[in-house]
Amino acid sequence: MSAGDDLAALTAARAIERIAAGDLSAAELFDVYRARAAADAEDLNAFTWVADGPPAELGADACASAPLAGLPLAVKDLFCTEGVPSQSGSRILEGYRPPYTATAVAKLADAGATLLGKTNQDEFAMGSSNENSAFGPVRNPWDRARVPGGSSGGSAAAVAAGLAPWALGTDTGGSIRQPAALCGIVGLKPTYGAVSRYGMIAFASSLDQAGPFTRDVTDAALLLRHMVGRDACDATSLAFPGEIELPRGVDLRGLRLGVPEELTADGIESGVRDAFAATLALAEQLGASVEPCSLPHAPHALSAYYLIAPAEASANLARFDGVRYGLRVESDDLLGMYTATRAAGFGAEVKRRIMLGTYALSSGYYDAYYGRAQQVRTKVAEDFRAAFERFDLLVTPTAPSVAFRLGEKVDDPLAMYLNDVCTVPMSLAGIPAISIPNGLSGGLPTGLQLCGPAFSENRLLAAAYVLEQALGFDGSPARRAAGGGKAA
Amino acid sequence: MIDRAQVLHVARLARLALSEEEVARMSRELSAVLGHIEKISELDLDGVPPTSHVVDAAGALRPDEPCASLPREAALAGAPEPLEQGFGVPSPGASG
Amino acid sequence: MSASDWEPVIGLEIHVQLGTRTKMFCGCELSFGDPPNTHTCPVCLGLPGALPVANARAVHYALLIGLALGCELAPRSIFHRKNYFYPDLPKGYQISQYDVPICSGGRLGDVRIHRAHLEEDAAKLVHVGASGRIHGADASVVDFNRGGTPLVEIVTEPDVGSAAQAREWLTLLRETLRQLGVSDVNMEEGSLRCDANVSIRPAGSDVLGTKTELKNMNSFRYLERGVEAEIARQVALVESGGEVEQETLHYDPVTGGLTPLRSKEEAHDYRYFPEPDLAPIVVDEAMIEAARAELPELPAQRAERYERELGLTADSARRLAFRADLAAYFERALATSTTASDGEASARERRRTLANWITGELVARIGDGDPSASKVDPAALATLVGLLRARAVTPGAAKQVLDVLVADGGDPQAIVEAEGLGAIGGGDELAEVVQRALAADPDAVAKLKAGNMKAIGPIVGFVMRETNGRADGGEVTRLVREQLGL
C-alpha cells in the first residue's frame, strides 16, 4: 500500500493524535482524502461536491491544537454550508448555495473540522437505498452492484471506502443506522433534540437528527462530543446532560440487555439472524444478561412513521415553489408555475410521500391517519419506557437484510419501506441508537443495533465499544480484500 | 382505495402537476401503502393522547432583541426573477 | 317585511400587528416603509433548513391583551401550521394557533370575545403590471420585510348588532390596545385590520342565518359603510326570494360595491397540524403577574369607575374614558376644584358639568387635539365651571370666556372682568332692564298675567339682548314674577 493508503487507514482519533504530536501534517492528510474523493465520481458516486483544495485554516498552527485538528469531514448534502452547493439530493435546489451554515457543521468547524465535500443522498432524505438522488445512485464499496443503504448512502460509502475519515449523516427513520449496517461501519442517531437541526434541510421535523458515520465507536464518540448542545436557533434542541465520554471498558458485566421479540422474529434474513444470535451469545460471555422483552406496538411503528414523516414533509417541502430560490419552470400563471416547477423538480419517491402526507392531513382523513399515527407513537414511546425499567439497553439487528441489488426494490415502495422496520421505532420514541458492524453474511456486512433511554449515549457507546473490540471486525473493504484482520 | 379523483384532488392541494401515467401509478402505489398502514385502525387507542411534541422544552422563547438581517443582495441571490428589489412572480389570479 | 324587521348579526375578526422590536419567529427588526427586502433572514425568507423561535415579548403582549379582554389564559397553548400556497407565504404554511389558543373567552364592552391567538403576518405582494417575461401575463413583486411580523388575531362572538355599533366597538378596542402599549393600531398603516362576518335573521329569532365574510375595509368609515352595504344587500336578496350564500366579499369604498373573492366551495383545506419545530407556550403565574403589573386602567374599567364612583352619566363616562387624553385632563381639572363645603349631590353635579364641558364645548373647539396641550389650563376650566355653577356667568357668557381661553389661555375670572361678561344676577341694574322689557311688550305681559308662562320667552330675550347675555335667566324670571305680582 502507498503512503497515502497508510494515512487513510488511520482512524480519526489516531490521526488527530499524530497531528497534535506534530507527527503528521493536517494539510497533507486533507490532500490524500481530497484526491480520493475527487477520483470517486465514476466509481461509488458518493460525493456531489468536493473541495478543490485545502482550506485556508489548515495553514494555521492553531489547527493542530484544535480538538479535531483540521481533520477533513464529509457532510451530507442536506446540511447547509455557506456558499457551497446544498441541494438535499434534489433537482429542485439546483445551483442553490445557502447564505448560512448549519449549526452542527459550524460547531464541528469551530472544533477544527474541515469540509472535505458534500455527500450524495436520497432526495430530501427519503429512501433506504440512495437510488432516489438527482445525482444518480451511490454504490456499495463491498459490491458495486448493490446499494449502500439510505438515505445517507454517500456518507456511509465514503467512510467505508476510505474516501473520508468520518462523515455526517441524518437519521429520520434509520437513514444513518441502516446504511452504516449495509456498509460495515459505525453509525449513531442521537437522542432527539441533542443536536441542533438548524440548517438541516428538513424532511420530518419531529424525527430528523444529525449523527456521525465513523470507522469505529471511539471516533463516533469523539465526533458526537462536538455536535451536541442546545442551540438558540432551534427551539427543539436540548442541553446534553454532562459530556460525551470516550468509551473504555473490557466487559459487559452488570449490563441488562433486552431483545424485543417483535423486531427479531419475522422478516429478518437468515444470515443476518445468525450473526445476531452469535453476538448475543458473545454478549453473554462478556457478562451481560440477555433476555427477551416485548415492544407490543412495534409492529405498527412503521405504519405510524409512514404517516407522520410524509405529513411533516409535505409541509416542509411546500417552500419549494420556484419563488425565492432553486428551480423555476416558467408558466403563464402562478398555479402553472407552482405545479410545473414542483413536477419537474421532485423525483418520484418525493412526490409519492408528499401525496401520502397531504392525504393523511387532509380534511376528513386527519383523525384516521395522522391523528391515529401520533397516538400509536405515544404507545411506542411508552413501550420503550416500560422496557427500560427492566433493561439498560435493547438490542436488535439493524436492518432485516444485507445490501440488496441496485434496482431490486425500486418498483415496490412497500418493500423498500420495510427496510426500516427495526430502526423506525427508536425514531418515533426519540431515543438514541447506534449500529455497529456485526460480521459478514455471504460476504456482505450486517449490523447490530443498540438503543437506550433518552440521553444514554455514553452507556450506548460504552457497550458498543466492548462488543466492537470483542468482535474484532475490520470494516474496510480494502483491508478485507488484502486479507487483513484487526485494525492497528 | 385512493381513486383517480382523490389523487387529482390531493395533487391540487400539493401543487403537483401529474401526468396521466403518474396519476394511475400514484393511485396504485398509494393504495398499496395505505392498505398496509390501515392496520392501525384495528388498534384500541381510546384515551391515548397523540404525541404533538417530542420535546417539551417549555420556555424555549427568544428575547425581543434584533439580530443582523441579510443584506438584500444575499436575500435575492437565488431569486429566479429578481424584480424591483424584490422577488418577481406571476400575478395571482382570482383563484391564486 | 321592511328593513327594521331584520336583525343584523355581526362578528368581527381583528388582526393586530404587535409593536415588538423584532419579528414573531426571528430576530429581524420590524419596519414600516423601509426599502424592500432589507429586513430578512433565512427564517422569514423560508430558506431551506431555517427554524422558527418564538418571541418572548410577543407572548407577553398576547397575555396583556388577554387580561385586558378578560380572557382565560391557557396554561399551555400550541402553535399549528396552516398550510396553503401563496407568494407572500414563504414556507407554504403560516405558523398560527388552532384549537389550543393562548386566550379564550372574555368580553369588552357589550361584545363577548371568542378567542385571541398569536400568529405571523404574511409578506407584502405588490402588483407591478405587465411581466417582461411572459407575453400577456402580469407580474407581482414580493417584499418580505413585513413577513413574520407578530400578530394577535382577536375573534368576537356575533354580538354586534349594527354597522354603527361595529365602528364604535372597534374604536373602544383600538383605544384599549393603544393604552396597553402593544401596538400602533393604525388602520391606514395596516397595524390594525378588521374583517366582518355578517348575517341577518328575522327580528326576535335566535337562529343564525348564513354569514358572509367582508374583507378589505381599511378605515373605520369604510368598515361601517361596508357592513351597512352588506346588510342592505342581504335584506334585498332575501326579500326578493333569494338565499344568502356563504362567501367572501371584497368591499370597494369608491363604488360602494361588494364583489365575491372566492366562494366557499373553493375554500382552502388548511390541513392544520401541531407545529413540530416549536415547543408549547407554557404560561406560568410569574408571566401572568408580570403582565398584570403592566396593565394600565383601561377604558372600559375607567368608564365604569367614572359612573360608579364619580356619578357621571354612562354616556359621559364613556366619552371621557375612551380617550386617554380627555380622561387625564378631566382628572387633573377635578383635582383642582375641591370645595370644602360641597354636599355630595352638589359635588356630583359639579363633576357632571365639568365632564360635559370637556366632552362638549372644549372638544368642539379643539377637536382631536390633546386638551393638555391646549392653552386651556385644567384649573382654568374647573374655575370656569365653578363660575357657571355659581351663576356668576350665564352659559352663553361662559362659552365666550372659553373662546378666549382657547385662543389666549389665562384666568377665567380675569377674562370675565376684562370683557364685562359677569352675570347680572340681582340689584337695581337688572330690575330696571326687566321693567323696560315688560313695558315694551304688553302682549306678553297680558299672557303672563293670564297664566301662560311660555310667554316669558320674548321678555327674557329682550333682557338678554340688552345685557349682552349677561343676565341670569333664573333671576330674570324671578324679577318678572315679582314685578307682575305672579
Question: Hey, where are the domains in chain A?
Answer: 3-251+452-483, 299-373
C-alpha–C-alpha distance, residues A145 and A272, integer Å: 20
Q: Which fold has domain B1-41?
A: Histone, subunit A (1.10.20)
C311: three-class secondary structure by DSSP: coil
Q: Is the Cβ of A364 closer than 8 Å to some Cβ of chain B? A: no
- Best mutation target among A97, A195, A303 (most B Cβ atoms within 10 Å) is A303
Count of C-beta atoms within a 10 Å radius of residue B28: 12
The shortest C-alpha distance from B74 to chain C (Å) reads: 9
In this structure, the dihedral spanned by the alpha carbons of residues C333, C335, C341 and C347, taken in order and rounded to 10 degrees, is 60
Q: Does the distance separating the beta carbons of C83 and A233 come in below 8 Å?
A: no
What percent of chain B stands above pLDDT 70? 92
Determine the Cα angle at A99 with ends A97 and A101, to 5°.
95
Contact list, C93 vs chain A (CB under 8 Å): 315, 318
Average pLDDT over residues C88-108: 97
Contact list, B65 vs chain A (CB under 8 Å): none
Nearest to A358 among B13, B52, B90 (CB): B13
Q: For C136, phi and psi rounded to 5 degrees?
A: 85, -5
Q: Is residue A151 reached through a cis peptide bond, with omega within 30 degrees of 0 on the bond before it? A: yes
The shortest C-alpha distance from A94 to chain C (Å) reads: 13
In this structure, the dihedral spanned by the alpha carbons of residues B16, B17, B20 and B21, taken in order and rounded to 10 degrees, is -60
Neighbours of chain A (3+ CB pairs under 8 A): B, C
**What integer pLDDT is reported at residue B35 of this predicted model?**
92
**What integer pLDDT is reported at residue C478 of this predicted model?**
86
Q: Is the Cβ of A52 closer than 8 Å to some Cβ of chain C? A: no
Q: Cα–Cα distances in Å, from C89 out to A203, B9, C92?
A: 19, 22, 6
Q: Does the distance separating the beta carbons of A307 and B51 come in below 8 Å?
A: no
Average pLDDT, chain A: 94
Q: Does the distance separating the beta carbons of C136 and A362 come in below 8 Å?
A: no
- Summarised one tens digit per residue, pLDDT across range A74-117 is 999 999 999 999 999 999 999 999 999 999 999 999 999 999 99
Q: How many CB pairs under 8 A join B and C?
A: 136
Q: Is the Cβ of C87 closer than 8 Å to some Cβ of chain B? A: yes
Closest of A462, A415, A151, A179 to residue A302, by C-alpha = A415
Please name the residue that has the C-alpha cell 405529513. Answer: A311
**What integer pLDDT is reported at residue C322 of this predicted model?**
84
Domain extents for chain B?
Answer: 1-41
What percent of chain A stands above pLDDT 70? 96
pLDDT classification of C341: cutoffs 50, 70, 90: low
Chain B residues whose C-beta is within 8 A of a chain C C-beta are 13, 15, 52-67, 69-70, 72, 75-76, 81, 83-92, 94-96
Q: Which fold has domain A3-251+452-483?
A: Amidase signature (AS) enzymes (3.90.1300)
CB of A185 closer than 8 Å to CB of A141 = no
**What integer pLDDT is reported at residue C283 of this predicted model?**
95
**What integer pLDDT is reported at residue A479 of this predicted model?**
54
- Summarised one tens digit per residue, pLDDT across range A289-317 is 999 999 999 999 999 999 999 999 999 99
Query: Is pLDDT above 50 for C17?
Result: yes
Nearest to A100 among C42, C134, C136 (CB): C42
Closest residue on chain B to C268 (Cα)? B13
Q: Cα–Cα distances in Å, from C77 out to B59, C64, C104?
A: 12, 16, 11
Q: Give the H or E element holding residue C118.
A: strand C111-120
Contact list, B77 vs chain A (CB under 8 Å): 97, 99
Q: Does the distance separating the beta carbons of A198 and C51 come in below 8 Å?
A: yes
Average pLDDT over residues C294-321: 91
**What integer pLDDT is reported at residue C265 of this predicted model?**
45
C-alpha–C-alpha distance, residues C97 and B52, integer Å: 13
Q: Is the Cβ of A366 closer than 8 Å to some Cβ of chain C? A: yes
Q: Does the distance separating the beta carbons of A334 and B89 come in below 8 Å?
A: yes
Nearest to B90 among A331, A356, A375 (CB): A331
Is the interface score ipTM higher than 0.90? yes
- Summarised one tens digit per residue, pLDDT across range A335-383 is 999 999 999 999 999 999 999 999 999 999 999 999 999 999 999 999 9
**What integer pLDDT is reported at residue A136 of this predicted model?**
97
Query: Is pLDDT above 50 for A486?
Result: no
Which residues make Cβ contacts (< 8 Å) with residue C430, sequence separation at least 6?
Answer: C424, C463, C467, C471, C475, C476, C479
Enzyme catalytic residues of A: 76, 151, 175
Contact list, A195 vs chain B (CB under 8 Å): none
Query: Which residues of chain B fall short of a pLDDT of 50?
Result: 94-96
C295: three-class secondary structure by DSSP: coil
In this structure, the dihedral spanned by the alpha carbons of residues C233, C236, C241 and C247, taken in order and rounded to 10 degrees, is 10
Average pLDDT over residues C412-439: 82
Query: Is pLDDT above 90 for A146?
Result: yes
Q: Cα–Cα distances in Å, from A291 out to A261, A264, A336, A382, A393?
A: 10, 13, 59, 19, 11
